[in-house]
Amino acid sequence: MMFSAGDLRRANGLLARYGFVLHEDGSPSILFYNLLMKGYISSGCPLAALGVYDEIQQQGMIPDKLTYNTLIFACVKTEKLDAAMRFFEEMKVQAQKVGHDDLFPDVVTYTTLLKYISSLTQALAYCHEKHVIHRDVKPENLLLDHEGRLKIADFGWSVQSRGKRHTMCGTLDYLAPEMVENKAHDCAVDNWTLGILCYEFLYGVPPFEAESQSDTFRR
């Protein structure tokens, strides 16, 4: 069972007080689960809020905008950036699938996600002030702390240099043009990746992604 006996008692208390969260047949509506997730987050249990999503799927219910915004916020609280991006992409796909314009991401969704871009911009600026080029910025190398602040990880390809570098390195979908063309590069390659991530946050995939590596290079 997804819910404990205590959860169900609290939920039944809510249902008794707020009948509007029920469908006409007496089954819980999506609003019931939204309230339950928000309750978990407010009580300091955001991980439990993410677990409610499994129950929503088992019930065959269609999440609404509040569901996705709450899930994304819970991901921020639990330091799960990849999961936040998956919910963001699913939100857009579901909106297109069911034809509900109201499901498309709103200012709350973008504000939650784009604060990562602001944090990443500041982190890269600090690295560049210290003459450090990361050279492999991508979602897998971004972590969140317990307060939802973004941290850059995996400096395996990084280098400290005041001049141009010539080593081709990084991840294909995020490579800057000078890397692809085997030209000398500097910290601008990190700035290019920042733009790639902005695009991926908006559309769910990197802009030059293709079926083969050669096609990605060509793009």
- Residue among 136, 145, 173, 190 flagged as catalytic: 136
DSSP 144: E
The identity of residue 195, as a single letter, is G
Binding-site members are: 140-141, 154
Active-site annotation holds for 136 = yes
Q: How far apart are CA 166 and CA 70, in angstroms?
A: 44
For the segment(s) 112-218, the CATH number from 1.20.1440.230, 3.90.1150.10, 3.20.20.70, 1.10.510.10 is: 1.10.510.10
Identify which has the larger pLDDT, 8 or 68: 68
| CA–CA distances in Å: residue 125 to residues 8, 54, 120, 164 | 49, 39, 8, 17
Q: What is the pLDDT of residues 35-76, one digit of tens each?
A: 888 888 877 788 888 888 888 888 888 888 788 888 888 887
Binding-site members for ATP are: 140-141, 154
Q: Do 165 and 133 touch, CB atoms closer than 8 A?
A: yes
Q: Which residues contact 53 (CB under 8 A, 6 or more apart)?
A: 37, 63, 67, 71
Residue with tokens 């050279």: 135
Q: What is the pLDDT of residues 170-213, one digit of tens each?
A: 999 999 999 888 899 999 999 999 888 877 776 667 888 888 88
Question: Where are the domains positioned within the chain?
Answer: 5-103, 112-218
